[in-house]
Structure 1
Amino acid sequence: MAIEQSEYRPWRAWSIAIMLALMMLVNFLDKVVLGLVSVPMMRELHLSPTQFGLIGGSLNWLFSISAVLGGLAANRASTKWLLLLMAGAWTALQLPMLVAGSIWSVIACRVLLGAGEGPASPVAVHALYKWFPDAKRNLPVAVLHQGSALGLLVAGLSIPAITAHWGWRANFLVLSALGGLWCVAWLVFGAEGKLSSPVRSDHTARVPYALLLTDRTVLGVFAGHFAANWILAMTLTWTPTWLQLGMGYEPQTAGRMFALFVAITAPLSLGLAWLSQHLLTRGVSSRVGRGGFLTVTLVMAGALLASTAWPGLPPMLRFVLLTLGSGMTLVTYSIGPAMLGEVTPDSQRGGILALSNGFSSLAGLAAPIVTGLLIEGAGRSTAVGFEQASVASGVVLLGCGVLCAFCLDPRRSLRRFALGTTRAPGELNLVERS
C-alpha cells in the first residue's frame, strides 16, 4: 500500500499555500498591469496594435528558458530561497518602467521581468506539493492560482484609479513596493515542506527523461497548459483594451468590467477544481476524474470562445461568453500539475513542471502578437480583431482538448515507466504502448 512519507500537517500546509497565493497575486499584478495601462501607454509612446502585441508577448521571450532552469534548480535547491530570489528580482525590475521611453526600453524591461517570473508557478507548485499528499493536491493548487485571480481583481479595481490620479507609470512603483513587502513576509514565515510522495511498487525513484518527455500523459498536460496559457495571455493583454476601444467603456469602468471578468472566472475555476477532486475522493480514476474532466472543460471553453464571433450577438453576451470560456480553462493550472505530480518522481517533479510552464510560454509569446495582427488587419477595429482572435483561441482549445482526450492516462504512464526503467536504452521503443 502507498504510504505518505513524513507527517501531513494541515494548518502549516495551508499557511504556506496562502503565502504562495499572495506571491501569485503580486506575480499577476506584474503581468496584467501592461494591459490595463495599454491605452495611455500606446498614446504616449505612439505604438501600433502590432507593436503593443509585441510588447505583450515579450514577457515570454526568456520565460521558457528561465522556467526550465528554475525548475531544474528546484529539484536540488531549497524552494524557499529560490522563490525569495525570484520575487526580489520582480521587485527591482518594476523600477526601470518609471523612465522607459521607447518600445525597445519597455521590451527590455518586460523580457527581464519574464526571465525572473518564468520559474514562479512551477517552483511554487513544487514547493506546495512538499506539504500536501497526492489525493489532496487539486484544491491547494487551485487556491494558489486564486492568488493570481485576486491579483487580477485588485488590478482591475486599482490600476485605472492609480493611472487616473498619478499617471500610468505610477503603477510600477506600487508593484515594486508590494513585491518588497512579500519578500519580507516570506523571509520570516516561509519554510520548506518535508512531505514526499508515496512509495509505489510500480514507480521507480527516477525515470529517464527520454521516457518522461515522450509519455502521453506528460505531453497531454503540456498541450492543455499551452491552450490555457494562450487564452490567459490573450485576455490579460487585450481584454482591457477591448473593453475600452472595442466596447466603448471609460478607463475606470473598463477596469471594473475587467474585475467582474475575474470575479466570475476565479470561483468558476476553483469550483471546477473542487469537483475534480471530489470525483477522485469518490473513487473515480485519475484518467476520468482529472484527464477526462480536463478534456471536457477545454472543449466546452473552446466552443464558448469561438461563439463570441457569432453575428448579431449583444456586446454583453459576448462578454459573458468570453468570461465563461476563459474561466473554464483556468482549471488546467490545478489539474495539469496534479497529473504531472502523479506520474513524475519527486526528484524530477520541479523540472517537469518547469518544462510544462516553459512550453506553454510559447503560447504566451504568440497569442498577444496574433491578436495585435488581427486587430491591425481589421483596419485597427479592436472589436472585430478581438472577435477573430477569440475564434482562433477557440480553435486552439478544441485542438488541445482532443489531444488531451487521447493522451491523459496516468495509470498507463506509470506502467510504461515501470517497464521502461528495467530495459536497456536501446530497448525503450519496446515499452508497452497500450
Structure 2
Amino acid sequence: MTNEHNRYRPARAWSIAIMLALMMLVNFLDKVVLGLVSIPMMRELHLSPTQFGLIGGSLNWLFSISAVLGGLAANRASTKWLLLLMAGSWTLLQLPMLVASSIWSIIASRVLLGAGEGPTSPVAVHALYKWFPDARRNLPVAVLHQGSALGLLVAGLSIPAITAHWGWRANFLVLSALGCLWCIAWFVFGAEGRLSSPVRTGRTARVPYALLLTDRTVLGVFAGHFAANWILAMTLTWTPTWLQQGMGYEAHVAGRMFALFVAITAPLSLGLAWLSQRLLANGVPSRVGRGGFLAVTLIVAGALIALLAWPGVSPMMKFILLTLGSGMTLAMYSIGPAMLGEVTPDSQRGGVLALSNGFSSLAGLAAPIVTGLLIDDAGRSPARGFEQASVACGVVLLGCGLLCAFCLDPQRSQRRLAGGVSGAPVPGSVADPS
C-alpha cells in the first residue's frame, strides 16, 4: 500500500477525473436525447411505443460485444488513445440523425453509436484506477458518474429548448460539436496513469478467467450492475414520455421535471459513495462497507420502484418514489467497479470491468422494449403501462439485491483467487507488502 500512496498525485489525478466526468456528460447526453425528443420524433416518423422501445434498446445491440472487446484492449493498450478513439466515433455518429427518415436508418445509427459507447465506462474507470489507490477509489468513480448525472441535468434543461426553437434533429448537431470539443481537450491534456495496486494484484499477476468469472463477488457485481442498468435504461428512455403522456406535463415542464429528477439523484448517489468510503476508512470490512451496502440499496430501491403501482399513490409521490429509487441504484456504478478492482489483477481489470458492462447491457437492451410493450398493452393509459413496467423493474432490483447480499465478499474472493494468481505472493505472506 505504501508504494501506491508514494506515487499518488492528487492534483493531477483529480484533473483527469474531472476530464473523464466531462466525457461522461457528453456520453449521457447521447444516451438520453432520444427520450427527450420522443414525442416529436414518434409523431413525425409515425412510431408506436413498441417501435420506439425497439429504437431505445438498439443502442445496446452491440454494446456488450464492444464493451468486452474494448475492455480487453484496455488491458494492453493506452486508455488515453482508446478513449479518444471512442469519443471520436460518437462525434461522427450523431450526424446521420440529421437526415435519418426511417426506423431502420435510426436503428442502424444507434447500433453503431452503442458499439462506440460500449467500452466507455469500463475503460474510463480502468483509466481512473491508474491514478487512485484502492482506498480512495469510491469517490472519484462517483465523480466520474456525476458527469453522467450532469449530462442528464443539462439535457433536461437544454434539449426541450433546442427542440422548440430548431426542431428535434438539431440536438444531434449540438451533441456532435460537444464531442468534438472534448476530443480536442483530451488530446491536449489527457494522460495515462502509472499507479498500480499492491503486488497481490500487480501488473504481472494474472488469474485464470475461468476462476475469475466463477467467483461469487464478481458474479454478484455483475448481477447488481444488471439491475442498476435495467432501471437506468427504463428511466432514460421512458421517463420524459411518462411525464408528458402519463402525467400530463407540457414538454418544457417535463424537461424541467426530468432535470429535477437528476438534481436529486446525482447528489444522492454521490452521498452514498462517500458514505461507503467513510465506512471503509473507519475500518469496516469491504464485505459490509461495499457489499452489504450495495445489497441494501438495491433491495430498498426495488421496493420503492414497485410502489409506483400501489393504488391511490399521488402523481407527485410516484415521481418521488421513482427519483429516490433510481438515485439509490446509481451507487452500483461507483462501488461495484471498486469491488471488482479489489479482487481483479491490474492486468485483467479492464477486461473484467468490460465484461460487467457487457452483461449489464443486456438489461439496457431488454428494459426499453419491455416497457414499450407494457405501455402498448395498456392502450389508452400510458401511465398504467409505466406502472406495470415499474413493478417488473422492482422485481429485478429485489432479486439482484438478494443475490448481492449472498455473493459480495471481496475478502473471501481474495483468498480464493490468491491460489490462482501467477506472478504474485499469497496475501498475508511475508512477501506480500499489503
Q: Into which bin does the TM-score normalised by the smaller protein fall? A: over 0.9
The share of aligned pairs that are identical, in percent, is: 87
Contact 1:233–1:367 (CA under 8 A) maintained in structure 2: yes
User: How far 1:419 sits from its partner (Å)?
Assistant: 2.5
Partner of 1:389: 389
CA distance in 2, matches of 1:203, 1:19: 25
Please say if 1:184 is aligned against 2:180: no
- Tell me the alpha carbon deviations over residues 170-200 of structure 1, each in whole angstroms, 9 at most, x when there is no partner: 0000000000000000001100000001123
Give the alignment of 1:116-135 within 5 angstroms.
116-135=116-135
Partner of 1:193: 193
Provide structure 1 residue ranges, at least 5 long, that are not aligned to the other structure: 423-434
Partner of 2:401: 401
TM-score by length of 1: 0.96
Partner of 2:307: 307
Please say if 1:155 is aligned against 2:163: no
Partner of 2:425: none
Q: 1:231 to 1:13 in 2, by over 3 A?
A: same
Provide structure 2 residue ranges, at least 5 long, that are not aligned to the other structure: 423-434
CA distance in 2, matches of 1:127, 1:333: 15
SS in 1 for 2:308: helix
Contact 1:18–1:144 (CA under 8 A) maintained in structure 2: yes
User: How far 1:2 sits from its partner (Å)?
Assistant: 6.4
Partner of 1:220: 220
User: How far 1:124 sits from its partner (Å)?
Assistant: 0.2
- Tell me the alpha carbon deviations over residues 5-27 of structure 1, each in whole angstroms, 9 at most, x when there is no partner: 86100000000000000000000
CA distance in 1, matches of 2:65, 2:146: 25
CA distance in 2, matches of 1:406, 1:95: 46
Contact 1:36–1:240 (CA under 8 A) maintained in structure 2: yes
CA distance in 2, matches of 1:377, 1:289: 42
CA RMSD of aligned residues (A): 1.3
2:59 counterpart letter in structure 1: L
CA distance in 2, matches of 1:70, 1:393: 29
2:117 counterpart letter in structure 1: E
CA distance in 2, matches of 1:355, 1:172: 29
Please say if 1:360 is aligned against 2:360: yes
User: How far 1:421 sits from its partner (Å)?
Assistant: 4.5
User: How far 1:201 sits from its partner (Å)?
Assistant: 8.9
1:357 counterpart letter in structure 2: N
CA distance in 1, matches of 2:203, 2:80: 28
Contact 1:52–1:372 (CA under 8 A) maintained in structure 2: yes
- Tell me the alpha carbon deviations over residues 382-421 of structure 1, each in whole angstroms, 9 at most, x when there is no partner: 1000001111100000000000011000111111112245
- Tell me the alpha carbon deviations over residues 223-255 of structure 1, each in whole angstroms, 9 at most, x when there is no partner: 000000000000000000000000000000000
CA distance in 2, matches of 1:202, 1:86: 27
SS in 2 for 1:4: helix
2:133 counterpart letter in structure 1: P
Partner of 1:430: none
Q: 1:380 to 1:197 in 2, by over 3 A?
A: farther
Give the alignment of 1:144-293 within 5 angstroms.
144-200=144-200, 205-293=205-293
User: How far 1:379 sits from its partner (Å)?
Assistant: 1.0
CA distance in 1, matches of 2:346, 2:5: 12
CA distance in 2, matches of 1:146, 1:161: 23
CA distance in 2, matches of 1:266, 1:393: 20
Contact 1:49–1:380 (CA under 8 A) maintained in structure 2: no
CA distance in 1, matches of 2:201, 2:51: 54
User: How far 1:3 sits from its partner (Å)?
Assistant: 4.0
CA distance in 1, matches of 2:356, 2:288: 21
Contact 1:204–1:418 (CA under 8 A) maintained in structure 2: no
Partner of 2:82: 82
- Tell me the alpha carbon deviations over residues 317-366 of structure 1, each in whole angstroms, 9 at most, x when there is no partner: 00000000000000000000000001000000000000000000000000
Q: 1:5 to 1:346 in 2, by over 3 A?
A: farther
SS in 1 for 2:194: coil
Contact 1:95–1:173 (CA under 8 A) maintained in structure 2: yes
CA distance in 1, matches of 2:284, 2:412: 16
Contact 1:54–1:369 (CA under 8 A) maintained in structure 2: yes
1:186 counterpart letter in structure 2: W
- Tell me the alpha carbon deviations over residues 295-331 of structure 1, each in whole angstroms, 9 at most, x when there is no partner: 0000000000001111011100000000000000000
Partner of 2:372: 372
CA distance in 1, matches of 2:201, 2:65: 34
Partner of 2:41: 41
Contact 2:246–2:381 (CA under 8 A) maintained in structure 1: yes
Q: 1:201 to 1:147 in 2, by over 3 A?
A: closer
1:342 counterpart letter in structure 2: E
CA distance in 1, matches of 2:421, 2:356: 22
Partner of 1:67: 67
- Tell me the alpha carbon deviations over residues 23-56 of structure 1, each in whole angstroms, 9 at most, x when there is no partner: 0000000000000000000000000000000000
Contact 1:98–1:173 (CA under 8 A) maintained in structure 2: yes
User: How far 1:4 sits from its partner (Å)?
Assistant: 1.9
Contact 1:146–1:266 (CA under 8 A) maintained in structure 2: yes
